[in-house]
Amino acid sequence: MREVKRSALVSQPPARVYTLINDIERYPEFLPWCSHLVIRSRREEAGKTTLIADMTISFKIVRETFTSKVVLDPAARRIDVAYINGPFRYLTNIWRFDPEADGGCAIDFFIDFEFRSRALGALIGAVFHLAIEKLVAAFEARAKELHRYPSGAEPRPV
pLDDT tens-digit series, residues 10-63: 888 898 889 888 899 999 998 888 899 999 999 999 999 999 999 998 877 778
Give the fold, CATH level 3, of 2-150. Alpha-D-Glucose-1,6-Bisphosphate; Chain A, domain 4 (3.30.530)
* Residue 87 · residue 62 · CB < 8 Å: no
Query: How many percent of the chain have pLDDT more than 70?
Result: 87
- The per-residue pLDDT for 148 is 61
The mean predicted confidence, pLDDT, of the chain is 84
For the ranges 10-14, 92-96, 147-151, the maximum mean pLDDT occurs at 92-96
What's the rounded Cα separation, in Å, for the pair 58 and 70? Answer: 21
Query: What percent of the chain has a predicted confidence (pLDDT) above 90?
Result: 41
Asked if 94 contacts 80 with a C-beta cutoff of 8 angstroms, the reply is: yes
The residue among 142 and 76 whose pLDDT is bigger is: 76
149 pLDDT higher than 50: no
